[in-house]
């Protein structure tokens, strides 16, 4: 296990877990599992699961069958989502080229980030916020036409 320790933090080197932890707040489970399944092989995923279960005391369940890669990813995601962030060590990536790219296709902009509800600001629905051409468009296409 590649672990670096200091007085205040615990760093663990694992690309798969680093990717999962750092994208957990912006990607839904299905997209995260898909990206992991496409980017990491079965051995890397199982090593990540074993490492996670060693750092966060959990009972390691060895999956069998054709879908064990998917089940191991689901186990990782489930444990990460159910564990308090303070109890999760800091997972880092040594080889950044192993991390899959995350594009806008993967990110769900409506997916709530932790503690971000207070950061959301809504546009006040008044006429000064809407450009004239959009108001005209709206009136033309959405308001009932009077003869």
**What pLDDT digit, counting tens, does each position of 104-121 carry?**
666 655 555 544 555 545
Report in angstroms the alpha-carbon separations of 68 from 14, 49, 62, 63, 75.
20, 12, 8, 5, 10
Number of domains composing the chain: 1
Domain residues for 82?
3-111
Count the residues in the chain.
147
C-alpha–C-alpha distance, residues 105 and 82, integer Å: 26
**Is residue 31 situated within a structural domain?**
yes
**Is residue 117 situated within a structural domain?**
no
Give this prediction's pTM.
Answer: 0.66
Which are the contacts of 76, defined by CB distance < 8 A and separation ≥ 6?
Answer: 16, 17, 20, 36, 45, 48, 49, 52
**Is residue 142 situated within a structural domain?**
no
* Residue of 75, 109, 80 whose CA lies nearest to 19: 80
pLDDT 10s digits, 67-109: 889 999 999 999 999 999 888 888 888 888 888 877 766 665 5
């Amino acid at each position: 296990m590649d672990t670096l320790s200091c007085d205040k933090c615990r760093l663990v080197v694992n690309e798969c877990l680093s990717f999962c932890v750092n994208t957990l707040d912006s990607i839904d489970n299905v997209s995260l599992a898909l990206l992991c399944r496409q980017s990491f092989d079965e051995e890397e995923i199982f090593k990540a699961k074993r490492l996670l279960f060693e750092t966060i005391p959990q009972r390691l369940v060895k999956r069998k069958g054709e879908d064990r890669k998917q089940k191991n990813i689901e186990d990782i995601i489930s444990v990460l989502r159910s564990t308090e962030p303070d109890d999760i060590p800091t997972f880092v990536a040594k080889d950044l080229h192993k991390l899959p790219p995350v594009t806008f296709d993967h990110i769900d902009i409506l997916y709530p980030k932790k503690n971000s509800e207070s950061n959301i600001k809504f546009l006040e629905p008044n006429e000064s916020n809407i450009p004239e051409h959009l108001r005209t468009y709206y009136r033309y296409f959405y308001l009932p036409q009077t003869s």
